[in-house]
Structures are given as C-alpha cells and as structure tokens.
Amino acid sequence: MARTDTDVLVIGGGIIGLGVAWRAAQRGLAVTVADPDPGHGAAQVAAGMLAPVTELQYGEEPLLRLGMASNERYAAFAAELSEVTGLDTGYRQTGTLAVALDSDDREELRELHSFHQRLGLESHWLTGRECRRLEPMLAPGVRGGLQVTGDHQVDGRRLTAALVAACERAGVDLHRAEVTELLVEAGRAAGVRLSGGEILRAERIVLAAGSRSHLLPGLPEGVLPAIRPVKGQVLRLRIPEQYAPFLSRNVRAVVRGQHIYLVPRADGELVIGATTEEQGYDTTVTAGGVYELLRDAHELVPGLTELPLVETNAGLRPGSPDNAPLLGPTALPDLIAATGHYRNGVLLTPVTADLLAEYLATGATPELAAPFSPSRFGSKVPA
Ligand SMILES: Cc1cc2nc3c(=O)[nH]c(=O)nc-3n(C[C@H](O)[C@H](O)[C@H](O)COP(=O)(O)OP(=O)(O)OC[C@H]3O[C@@H](n4cnc5c(N)ncnc54)[C@H](O)[C@@H]3O)c2cc1C
C-alpha cells in the first residue's frame, strides 16, 4: 500500500476546501486535497450572492462580522485568483435591491432597515418609484425597497474553476478519490484511507466535506455535530442581447414567505433562486420547485417570461445546528473543521481560507474565528 506524507490533508475540494488548500499552500505548507471531483460541490449551483447585509437575520451579528470581513476581502481575492490563473471569477460590484411587494413585506423591510441602521450598515430606503427608476423591469406593484450598495456577486462556477487552477499552480496535490475512512491513531487524526485503498498520512487534517462532513467513516462520535443538507433548487435563464441590461443589480424579495432572488451576471446569465427544502441528500429538480420559483420571480419581474430557460439544478447547503460555520480545531487532535457554511459558503470563502491558513501556519486561532469554534457544540474528546 502506498504511503504519502503531507503537512495538511484537506478532505473535500468544494469551494471551502479549495480556498483553504490554496491559502495554506501559499503559506509554504505541503497540501493535499482528496475529492473524487474537486470543484463540483454546492458552489456549482449557488447564485453567488455576496450578501452579508441583505441576508442578515436577528441574532446573527457574529456571522455578520465574518461576512463583512469576507466581503471586504473579495475584490482582492478575486483579482489575485485572476492574476495567477488568467481566469475570470465573475466578481461584480453590483449592489443589491431588496424590494417589498405588499404592505406586510414593506413593514418587514422597514424593520430590517432599522436593524441595519442600529448596526451602522450601509442601507437606504427607497420608494417604489425610486426602485423602478433603478430597475425598470420591476413589477409596477413594488411598494418600496432597500438599496444595499455593498452586497455584490460572484460566479461560483468560475470561482471554483479558478481555485482548482490556483491550487494546481501553488503545488497543491489534488487526489481525485473519495476518502473512505479517517484513520485515528494514538488519539489523533493521523491520515485517511482512499477509495482505491491508498493511505495518506498528514500532520493535520482539514474536514471540508460540506453536508457529508459528519458522515465520514472513522470520525469518532461527538467530534462534529450533524451537518444537515438543505436543498436549494435554482434556475438559469439567458438574457438575449436585445433585452440587456435586463437587471443591473441583484434583486430580491420575500414572496408568500419564500425568499426569491435574481442575480444578473455580466455574461448574460440570470440566476433565479432558491427553494429551501430539508429532505436529506436528494437533489431532484421538481416540477413544483421550478413552478414556485418562476411564479414568484414573475411576480417580481413580469418580463422574465420572455427569456430562454437554459438550466434547472439543485444543490445542498451544509447547515450546522446554528447555521453558522465550524472553523478551527475539533476535540480530536489534528482534525480541523471548515464546514457548515450553509447559505453563505461562497461569501465566506476568502475569510475562511485566510483564517484556516493562519491557524495551520501558526497554531493560533485568529480572533475573528473564535466565535465559530466547533467546541461551541460541546464536542467531546474521544475516549
Ligand atoms: C441553491 C443554493 C444557493 C446558494 N446560494 C449562495 C449564495 O448566493 N451565496 C453564498 O455565499 N452561498 C450560497 N450557497 C451556499 C454555498 O454554495 C455553500 O455554502 C458552499 O458551496 C459550501 O461549500 P463546501 O465546500 O463547504 O461544501 P460542498 O460544496 O458541499 O463541497 C464538499 C466537497 O466535499 C467532497 N466530499 C464529500 N465527502 C467526501 C469524501 N468522503 N471524500 C472526499 N471528498 C468528499 C464533495 O465531493 C464536495 O466536492 C448556495 C447553496 C445552494 C445549494
């Protein structure tokens, strides 16, 4: 059986694992990523909204701080990736408009606006007419909205492709294989077994397997809480040139209690998302899901029925028990978590990569990562 030694082994080459691997390799560490299909996780489906402010929910202030820190790093992160790979990431500073379609929605948005103001966040109230002046394709019934100039977008597919290329260039060893077992020796995470039987040994192991993180065979019970898969269905439309610019910024609303958003990309793609369904590891695209997305999006932007529908897709958001990520050492020595990013994994990639690389290079937990320690779930040191 072959043996390979490495400083850091990352289990899972989704957007988070790749980001961590790239930054860790830049710190001079020898890094290996194990994934049967690196770059093909949930970010292939994600809309790629970078929306710490419009996604904000009450009680999530630590997550806001993390999201804002990542958003601030995004322009430089995307520029560096493009520079080293020659690939475009689709990062666009568009801003976001969150609109209300009826008086209840307007009340809710008003409350969100007050919350933003209390926290000192950049967020401006607009009348319905002002919203339509910014986005003429909006339904005439729009009652008002919030303009958030700092919530932008990136193309998750382009970004992960750039991360794969950047990892390769930085000398990260990409093992296209599944990890079938975590090897625990002398009370620490010592290595993994791969689907072909090969064993890889590492000084430190980063668990970044998204919604499958807690299912890893060999992972001692109690080290990681269950990471639940939260299904999201998404549609992709194409904006023909004669309709451009159809929308100029991310547009979102709550329709019948469901969040709906439209993300217009520079290349003419219009992403409409997303359903939120908790039913295990199923990624079937359903008639009902597509219908609801189109119905709600049509209420917001009636003209979209003219656009070609080019793709329907579904992916799994990795949700932790408190919907915030797990970042840093677990109770099992030398096993480090980078998972549970739920609906913000694309946004949180730059900051997660930096914080984890800092920990891996220095052994110190950065202050920004402290609230996201896996120990908050009371994980036990395995006997
Ligand atoms: C519909 C939808 C819309 C979204 N919209 C947004 C958005 O607008 N903005 C935003 O910031 N985020 C969004 N997200 C969330 C974001 O996509 C996720 O949080 C992020 O992609 C999670 O990345 P990850 O690398 O942690 O996990 P994943 O993408 O799930 O990747 C995990 C990787 O681990 C690998 N793996 C699993 N088990 C093993 C094993 N045993 N051995 C080896 N490899 C393994 C898998 O092959 C996979 O490549 C959305 C998600 C969905 C589904």
Helix H, strand E, coil C: the string for 262-305 is EEECCCCEEEEECCCECECECCCCCHHHHHHHHHHHHHHCHHHH
Burial of 345-363, coded b for 16+ CB within 10 Å and e otherwise, reads bbbbbbbbbbbbbbbbbee
**What torsion do the CA atoms of 316, 317, 320, 322 make, to the nearest 10 degrees?**
-140
Mean pLDDT, the chain, rounded, equals 95
pLDDT tens-digit series, residues 271-302: 999 999 998 999 999 999 999 999 999 999 99
Q: Let me know: does 27 contact 132? Beta carbons within 8 Å.
A: no
Taking the CA of residue 15 as reference, the ligand 1 atom at the shortest distance is: 25
Q: Summarize pLDDT for 42-62 with one digit per residue, the tens.
A: 999 999 999 999 999 888 899
pTM over 0.85: yes
Average pLDDT of span 11-30: 98
And the tokens for 279? Answer: 């039913």
Query: Which numbered atom of ligand 1 lies nearest the CA of 40?
Result: 49
Report all structural domains of the chain as residue ranges with CATH numbers, in order of start: 3-44+158-227+321-377 (3.50.50.60), 93-151+229-319 (3.30.9.10)
- Give Dmax (Cα) for the chain: 69
- What confidence category does residue 254 fall into, taking pLDDT thresholds of 50, 70 and 90? confident
| Whole-number Å distance between alpha carbons of 301 and 153 | 19
Residue range 191-243, pLDDT digits in tens: 999 999 999 999 999 999 999 999 999 999 999 999 999 999 999 999 999 98
Looking at the CA of residue 348, tell me the nearest atom of ligand 1.
11
Task: Note the pLDDT of residue 2.
Answer: 44
Q: Does 39 contact ligand 1 (Cβ within 6 A)?
A: no
Determine the distance separating the centroid of ligand 1 and the alpha carbon of 130, expressed in angstroms.
36
Q: Which residues lie closer than 8 Å to 196 by C-beta, 6 or more apart? A: 177
Element at 360 (helix H, strand E) = helix 349-362
Closest residue by Cα to atom 46, ligand 1, is 12
Token reading at 189: 């995470």
Whether 194 contacts 272, CB under 8 Å: no
Q: What's the gap in Å between 317 CA and the centre of ligand 1?
A: 6
211 lines ligand 1 (CB under 6 A): yes
pLDDT band at residue 244 using 50, 70 and 90 as cut-offs:
confident
- Among protein residues, the one with the nearest Cα to ligand 1's atom 16 is 345
Whether 21 contacts 217, CB under 8 Å:
no
Mean pLDDT of 148-163: 98
pLDDT of residue 110 exceeding 60: yes
Cβ neighbours, 10 Å, residue 117: 11
Cβ-count burial 72-91 (b if 16+ within 10 Å, e if not)? ebbeebbebbbeebebbbbb
Q: In sequence order, what are the residues at sequence separation of 6 or more whose Cβ sits closer than 8 angstroms to the Cβ of residue 182?
A: 11, 189, 192, 205, 216, 217, 218, 219, 335
> Which pLDDT tens digit goes with each residue over 317-328?
999 999 999 999
Q: Which residues, in sequence order, are bridge partners of residue 319?
A: 228, 341
Percent of the chain with pLDDT over 90: 91
**Tell me: the pLDDT tens digits for 178-190?**
999 999 999 999 9
Contact between 73 and 351 under an 8 Å Cβ cutoff? The reply is yes
Question: Residues 354-358: what's their mean pLDDT?
Answer: 98
pLDDT tens readout for residues 367-377: 999 999 999 99
Cα–Cα distance measured from residue 238 to residue 125, given in angstroms and rounded to the nearest whole number: 30
Provide the pLDDT confidence category of residue 1 given band limits of 50, 70 and 90.
very low
Give nearest CA residue, ligand 1 atom 45.
12
User: What percent of the chain clears pLDDT 70, i.e. is strictly above it?
Assistant: 98
Q: Cα Rg for the chain, rounded, in angstroms?
A: 21
Does the CB atom of residue 15 touch ligand 1 within 6 A?
Answer: yes
DSSP 247: -
pLDDT bin (cut points 50, 70, 90) of residue 379 is low
Cα 90 from chain centroid? 15
Strand ranges inside 121-198, DSSP E: 124-127, 144-148, 152-153, 173-175, 179-185, 188-194
Angle, to 10 degrees, between the axis of helix 61-85 and the axis of helix 156-169?
A: 60
Res 267 pLDDT > 80: yes
How much is the pLDDT for 258? 82
Which residues contact residue 383 at a Cβ distance below 8 angstroms, ignoring those fewer than 6 apart?
none
Rounded to the nearest angstrom, the distance between the alpha carbon of 318 and the centre of ligand 1 is 7
Is any atom of ligand 1 closer than 6 Å to the C-beta of 236?
no
Q: What is the Cβ-side half-sphere exposure of residue 78, based on CA atoms within 13 angstroms?
A: 25
Structure tokens at 101: 């379609």
Q: Measure 345 CA to ligand 1 centroid, in angstroms.
A: 7
pLDDT at position 255: 83
